[in-house]
């Protein structure tokens, strides 16, 4: 029996998703490791023009529970509203919790941060890289959606390089601004000073 090679990322379900921000089209993708990623789209994104896009990595604590220890949930909220205001765009939600280290390790890193380490040194103390995320799934999803060039909503230059390394042209960067609070100011400062995040 001949086995058919499976795509690295494959669309497995789609539906309409009405939200508090407006109506999106939701597409679920399965990757070769069995992780399920999501793309939310607004309007036509396969017309060849650059598409407003955000690649958002899963953050259970910020996205779901409203944690003030990071700026993830607020960035997600801003992006969903921005895409609806533009009337066209893509939000890709990658299942790469804690910059790819997983939920349990993220919480272990949080505990080390409470003891005085910053987000980078906490990862290193656990024997983990600063950032383990892989942007190939995002690039594959964008290709499936017919998107070849993006205006990327990000402060993270690694996302720009990660997409371009997998054949997606980033023609513009749009910053996402979240006002820091007393809980996440050290985290945001460490991302800028030690991980090269842009203002």
- Give phi and psi for 152, each to the nearest 5: -90, 125
Note if 25 is an active site residue. no
Share of the chain above pLDDT 90, in %: 60
- Contacts of residues 60-63 at CB distance under 8 Å and 24 or more positions apart, as own/partner, are 60/97, 60/103, 61/106
Q: What's the domain range around 91?
A: 9-96+133-195
Q: Which residue has the tokens 């921005």?
A: 82
Number of domains the chain is built from: 1
> Tell me, what CATH number does 160's domain have?
3.40.50.10990
Residues ≥6 apart with Cβ < 8 Å to 11: 27, 28, 29, 144
Q: Is 57 part of any domain?
A: yes
Q: Is 122 part of any domain?
A: no
Closest CA to 60 of 115, 29, 101, 18: 101
Q: Is 120 part of any domain?
A: no
Note if 194 is an active site residue. no
* pLDDT tens profile 100-109: 888 998 899 8
The one catalytic residue among 131, 134, 136, 173: 131
* pLDDT tens profile 60-112: 999 999 999 888 999 999 999 999 999 999 999 999 998 888 899 889 989 99
**pTM of the predicted model as reported, rounded to 2 decimal places:** 0.89
């Amino acid at each position: 029996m001949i086995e058919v090679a499976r795509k690295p990322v494959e669309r497995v379900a789609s539906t309409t998703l009405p939200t508090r921000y407006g109506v999106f089209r939701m597409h679920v993708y399965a990757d070769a490791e069995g992780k399920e990623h999501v793309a939310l789209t607004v309007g036509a994104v396969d017309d060849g023009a650059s598409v407003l896009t955000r690649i958002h990595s899963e953050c259970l604590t910020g996205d779901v529970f409203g944690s003030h220890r990071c700026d993830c949930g607020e960035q997600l909220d801003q992006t969903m509203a921005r895409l609806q205001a533009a009337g066209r765009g893509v939000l890709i939600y990658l299942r790469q919790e804690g910059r790819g280290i997983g939920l349990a390790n993220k919480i272990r890193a949080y505990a080390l941060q409470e003891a005085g380490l910053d987000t980078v040194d906490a990862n290193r103390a656990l024997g983990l890289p600063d950032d383990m995320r892989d942007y190939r799934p995002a690039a594959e999803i964008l290709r499936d959606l017919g998107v070849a060039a993006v205006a990327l909503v990000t402060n993270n230059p690694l996302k720009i390089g990660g997409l371009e390394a997998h054949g997606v042209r980033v023609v513009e960067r749009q910053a996402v601004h979240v006002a820091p609070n007393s809980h996440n100011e050290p985290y945001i400062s460490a991302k800028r000073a030690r991980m090269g995040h842009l203002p």
